[in-house]
Structure formats: structure tokens, C-alpha cells
Amino acid sequence: MPPETGPASIYKIVLNDEGNYAICLSAWDLPPGWAEAGKSGGKTECLAFIWNSTRSRRNRAPLPGPRSS
């Protein structure tokens, strides 16, 4: 395993213009259209943050479709 992807690697959470999260190694430059989301850490920690953030966002979002009165 290359050293930059070992268990002690530091990742950063990134977010694109469409609201999609991803992680990348903190040493990498971000591609166009992506920005840092303000959180970094181990891979498991970053993935857990994304999972919890997207679950929270889904729970707050109104459901699509017509509303019954």
C-alpha cells in the first residue's frame, strides 16, 4: 500500500456545487468545482461525518410531491 493511503493518512471532506460530498487525501489539490467542507481526519472519521451529515439533511428536507390538506 502506498504510504499516502495507509491507515494513518489524513483525508479532507470536500463538497461540490451540487452538494455532493467526497473525501480526498489532504495533500491533494482539489479539482475545479470542489471546495473544502471544513473537516479533516482519518478515513473512517470522514466517512462517518458524511454519512451523518447526509442523513440529517435528508431528514430535514421536505418530501417531494403534492401535500394533502
Query: Over 90: is that where the pLDDT of 69 sits?
Result: no
Average pLDDT (53-65) is 61
Please write the tens of the pLDDT for every residue from 5-30.
666 799 999 999 998 999 999 999 99
Angle (CA) 57-59-65 rounded to 5° is 105
Distance CA 24, CA 9 (A): 10
Asked if residue 24 lies in contact with residue 14, where contact means CB atoms within 8 angstroms, the answer is yes
